[in-house]
Amino acid sequence: MRKISIEYILYFFQIVFIGVFFIILLSYNLNLSAQDFLSREMFSKNVKGIQLSNLGLNSENSTELNLSSITSDNDFMLYKYISGDYDEIIRGIYGTADVFGFTNYISEGRFFDSGDYENKTPTAVIGSNMLSKTIEENGKYYFGYSQELFEVIGIFKQTESDLDNCVYLNLAHLIDKDSISGLYYADALNENTVSYVLSAVEEMIPQNFEYYLVDYESINEYGLDSMSNTLYTFAVLAALIHLLLTTVFFIVRNEYTVAVQKLCGMTKKSMFIKYGRNMLILICMSFITIALSIKLFTYFLSDFFSMEQLVYGHFIILGVVLFIMGSLITAFTVFLSEKVNISSTLKGR
Amino acid sequence: MKSIIFEEIKYFIFNRTRVAILLIIAFSFSFIALNITLTDLIYAYKEQNAAEESYGDKTFYKITFFGEDEVINRLSSDEYKENIKNLYDSLKQCSLFDYSCTFADSMLFYSADDVSYSSDDFPLYKKECLLGYEEGEADFYESENVLTLKAIYVSPNFENENHVTLSTGRWFATEDFTVSRPDNIVLPVLLGSTYKDLYQIGDEIENAHPATSKGVTLSVIGFLNENSYFYDNNNEKIILNRYMIIPNYDINYDYVLSDGSYESFFSDSYNVFNKLINARIICSDENADAASKMFYKMINENKLYELSLIDETSGMQQYLNGLKDQTVSCGIIAVFMILLGVVMFCFQVYYNIRKNRKRYGIYIISGITLKQLFILMIANALTIFILSDMLLIILYFWLNNGMIFDFGTNDYTIAVLFMIEVVLTVFMAFFGLFKLKKMNLCTLLRENE
């Protein structure tokens, strides 16, 4: 049986180390997940916001936004931000229609309809996880906000998304009762409608209010802190440099073999094929080990290695990176082999 | 010997430049990774200890709220005062749990009535007692006519804290937690050890504003021992040396004025933040569910729906589990980095000896002692480490901005890194000697392998 060179064993561990921590870096820093309506926190990519602030508190109560006066050719949704946390999203909602098909996610009851908005009823539609935060009275569920109980008229089904932690309150009722100050988001199927709705809102803003337009900022901050990022980056870089050093040592240790091979007429190309083949086998074995290690990490160390954004795309990138790295190492090996002086090596100088 | 060492180093740097550069970079990067790993380990250890010390075997809930400015404004308005007071009173009286409303906040000293009040009238204080002093914000609080010192507002159970001890004076009495009249209010104050040489028991400090617009007089009743500490409502360790400690008092006078509005001291004192937000509900594990249910029953009765409970202990457990996983991941990196370092050093020594076998052969023939060879090896390793450390320092000042890169250096990690370098240096020297001893000088000098 042929003895495996110590450098190849070292290569294997170095590549696995680089691969594991490179894929952790990738998964936390490169989001390749498909962004649908639910993963965008129940907004489309057209969403835009407007922040309203009252300059003179005295006239606050006499002001209201007349939502029904916003007429647009296309349907739209208007939301008021109340709270946004990773485990609790509370928003006021108003829509000329169910533009984004919230009804499709309802498991019990119904979604808001035009009657709820017109009658300004204190109603709510909640995510499945929010049921525990409601009050049950006479067989009905209520969500409390602003010293008032909002009747739960619908419950969303479990979707394993932010929708599960969401509470939508009837915005028509909120605006009628509360201050109009706050952050509003307009959303529709096209950008023009959103711009039109925001312009309409701007026109309705009383003089004692100031406002500015804002982009939506996701509540889901997913990523590593800068210290962990630094740790993995430098660990991977260090291992990469060690990989190069291993190549230098590999050639030094095998310089007699290389010299003999060259003497026997081994060309640069055949050397590339020989070392390249070994490297390819090594990369394949390392790739499998990396994938298994990641599985083990996510199974045993799930709190830290949850890597929710890890998708096959990351493994494809890793594969490409490993292949390029293997090719470069092979090229470096051939380059160093070329430098071996047949005469002085065989003479032992 | 010196010239041989010098020649060795010169040869390593100028004749084996490629290997030298790669080794230096590799070890610099490894040390950065090791340094962060050690920082993480130390941090995780401290957090674990803090959690064990702070929570013990009890369940801690923290009161919080959802919403932002609009909700805060609403909850802070007079419309909610009565509900807040009712909820606060109910929470304190509930037998299912202990209610602890101890928090750090500022203590302002100024006189709204006296326009001539200036820094000359400020009470005695030391600069380090200024709020924000550690964060470099103290200058902001050093106004000409307002002084802002660090203070802690405490619940009656504060004296049960294990690490808070009195050096002189007395603890707060039950009656100290009640303000019975709206005018000429005198509140007892315990002072941290920093104040010891400024005040005596019985001294009075005028024009204090404990988050109220109305001024009160503080009466010194005692001093804490140096380095007394407790874990606050954010589970942060607060060393009390520079703090004033006053009771988080209740009001039992008639606070409703003839026009139906609230008396200002009551209104300021029964702020949702002073009495509810961030307060802790502490109970035994068996009572945890019942305590939570009772809390929600109380907030429903008082229509304070925006308030909710955070389960601090299970939250902390989850956080610690995350830290544990991170520690394991860091540990894997640390072990791998050290192992890789050792292996690469062995390679480097082997490579060095192999490349310069004749030179070493001649050294040995010429009568170099084992000790001198050992020094030569040490010099070689030290060169790599010193240059790696230099590169590390350059990278630290160049990249360590906390935004993209954070090297997380602290005093302990530097000491441990230094120890690792020493151990590796000695190991490398011994390994070099071992390899040299295994060489056959006769065949080596005959140029045959």
Tens of pLDDT, residues B356-412 = 777 788 888 887 888 888 888 888 888 888 998 899 889 888 887 766 788 876 777
The answer to whether A67 touches A117, Cβ cutoff 8 Å, is: yes
User: Measured between CA atoms, how close is B447 to chain A, in angstroms?
Assistant: 5
Q: Could you read off the pLDDT of B99-145 as tens digits, one per residue?
A: 988 888 889 999 988 888 888 899 999 999 998 888 777 777 778 88
Greater confidence (A280 vs B313) lies with: A280
pLDDT for A348 equals 64
User: Measured between CA atoms, how close is A95 to chain B, in angstroms?
Assistant: 22
pLDDT band at A306 (very low <50, low <70, confident <90, very high): low
Phi then psi for B67, rounded to 5 degrees? 100, 175
Task: Answer whether A169 touches B (CB < 8 Å).
Answer: no
The answer to whether B84 touches B269, Cβ cutoff 8 Å, is: no
Q: Could you read off the pLDDT of B198-242 as tens digits, one per residue?
A: 999 999 999 999 989 999 999 999 999 999 999 887 778 899 999
Cβ–Cβ of A10/B18 closer than 8 Å? no
Q: What is the mean pLDDT of chain A?
A: 87
pLDDT for A179 equals 77
Among B33, B36, B306, select the one facing A145 at the smallest CB separation: B306
Which of A165-169, A238-242, B395-399 is modeled with the greatest confidence?
A165-169
Beta strands in A257-302 (DSSP E): none
> Taking CA atoms, what residue in A is nearest to B303?
A147
The answer to whether B36 touches A227, Cβ cutoff 8 Å, is: yes
Mean pLDDT, residues B6-16 taken together: 79
Greater confidence (B139 vs B56) lies with: B56
Greater confidence (B430 vs B400) lies with: B430
Among residues B308, B281, B310, B312, the alpha carbon closest in space to that of B66 is found at: B308
A chain contacts of residue B74, beta-carbon cutoff 8 Å:
146
Give the least confident one: A55-59, B75-79, B189-193, B419-423: A55-59
Among B26, B336, B449, select the one facing A348 at the smallest CB separation: B449
pLDDT for A258 equals 86
The answer to whether A125 touches A156, Cβ cutoff 8 Å, is: yes
> Taking CA atoms, what residue in A is nearest to B342?
A242
Mean pLDDT, residues A14-21 taken together: 90
The answer to whether B213 touches B110, Cβ cutoff 8 Å, is: no
pLDDT for B69 equals 81
Residue A347 reports pLDDT greater than 80: no
Share of chain A above pLDDT 90, in %: 42
Q: Annotate B216-258 with DSSP letters as a single string.
A: EEEEEEEEEPTT-EEE-TTS-EEEGGG-EEEE--EE-S--B-T
pLDDT for B204 equals 95
Among B300, B328, B344, select the one facing A144 at the smallest CB separation: B300
pLDDT for A349 equals 56
pLDDT band at A249 (very low <50, low <70, confident <90, very high): confident
Give how far Cα B114 sits from Cα of B121, B155, B175, B312, Å.
11, 32, 31, 45
Give how far Cα B10 sits from Cα of A305, B87, B210, B349, B430, Å.
46, 78, 69, 16, 22
pLDDT for A305 equals 67
User: Measured between CA atoms, how close is B51 to chain A, in angstroms?
Assistant: 18
Place of tokens 């941290």: B192
Q: A148: which strand partners?
A: A145
Mean pLDDT, residues B272-278 taken together: 84
pLDDT for A181 equals 85
Give the span between the Cα atoms of B107 and B211, in whole angstroms.
Answer: 7
The answer to whether B325 touches A305, Cβ cutoff 8 Å, is: yes
pLDDT band at B313 (very low <50, low <70, confident <90, very high): confident
> Taking CA atoms, what residue in B is nearest to A248?
B19
Residue B188 reports pLDDT greater than 90: yes
Among A149, A226, A245, select the one facing B23 at the smallest CB separation: A245
pLDDT for A2 equals 58
The answer to whether A91 touches A47, Cβ cutoff 8 Å, is: no
pLDDT for B320 equals 83
pLDDT for B449 equals 44
B chain contacts of residue A81, beta-carbon cutoff 8 Å:
68
One-letter amino acid at B353 equals I
Greater confidence (A222 vs B313) lies with: B313
Among B22, B80, B318, select the one facing A245 at the smallest CB separation: B22
Residue A65 reports pLDDT greater than 80: no
Mean pLDDT, residues B318-338 taken together: 80
Q: Could you read off the pLDDT of B244-254 as tens digits, one per residue?
A: 999 999 998 99
Task: Answer whether A299 touches B (CB < 8 Å).
Answer: no
Cβ–Cβ of A245/B344 closer than 8 Å? yes
Mean pLDDT, residues B72-89 taken together: 89
Work out the number of other CB atoms within 10 angstroms of the CB of residue B285: 10
Give the least confident one: A80-84, A179-183, B137-141, B332-336: B137-141
Give the span between the Cα atoms of B140 and B124, in whole angstroms.
Answer: 19
pLDDT for A197 equals 93
Give the span between the Cα atoms of A206 and B122, in whole angstroms.
Answer: 45
Residue B353 reports pLDDT greater than 90: no
pLDDT for B49 equals 84
pLDDT for B447 equals 56
